[in-house]
Amino acid sequence: MGSDTTVRTTRHDAILEIAIDRPEQRNAIDKATAEALGAAIIELEQDDALVVGVLTGTGGGFCAGMDLGAFARGELPLTERGFAGMTIGRPGKPVIAAIEGFALAGGLELALACDLIVAARDARLGIPEVKRGLVAAGGALRRLPERLPLGVATELALTGDPLDVDRAQQLGLVNHVSAPGAALADALALAARIAANGPLAVAASHEILRAGVDWTEEQFWAEQGRIAGPVLLSRDAREGAVAFKEKRAPVWERR
């Protein structure tokens, strides 16, 4: 287990659990926490033994966004990768947000920087910045319209009112709805399903999904060939086929 004063990391084989640990501040992000989160994301990206991350919060809540007390003192919770060290420079490996209690303001923007969301049924999701005279500038105004109908995203942004988790799942924002208290366990189970697959194939699929939204049709096929081609020729691809024929679990070599 790794730790910082505000962020804890725990390894579960190929999964890195990253926990924001400021429960007394509702896991709000100050400068030190932004830097610690950014360091945890870099650890996930740079360690070849890690395939997927799970981002969560301690104390029954995910994250309440920017620490307004620190902001009032002139502190900005930013790194070169944006708010909390991950909203502009999004993680280069898949990350699942495990939400209990609340993901509000920058907290929801952290979840939107992740690839998948598991949320407890009673969690509150929203971007209430306009109620404080602020703008949700950590990525929500781009990523909510990517994941929700524009009218729904607009209502969330302009009213600042929360979105019900069951409706969020129906609209595709939330992947899995958990019983209260079970979001982290369910997210880790989902992460284990991802980590069991070929790591080269997971990484290539993630890269194509993330970048492909901005490609033309012609670019898509060219870039997909560039990224996926080496995977097709890898030892892991052959191992996957042989293991299937032999009716056994594959043993990945990451090459």
**Known catalytic residue at 129:** yes
Q: In one letter, which amino acid is 118?
A: V
User: Is residue 11 classed as helix, strand or coil in its secondary structure?
Assistant: strand
Residue of 24, 80, 129, 217 marked catalytic: 129
Count CA within 13 A, CB hemisphere, residue 198: 19
Task: Single out the catalytic residue among 100, 109, 223, 239.
Answer: 109
DSSP 172-241: TS-SEEE-TT-HHHHHHHHHHHHHTS-HHHHHHHHHHHHHHTT--HHHHHHHHHHHHHHHHTSHHHHHHH
N-term to C-term CA, the chain: 27
Is 109 one of the catalytic residues? yes
Q: At what angle do helices 217-232 and 199-212 cross, to 10 degrees?
A: 170
Give the active site residues. Answer: 109, 129
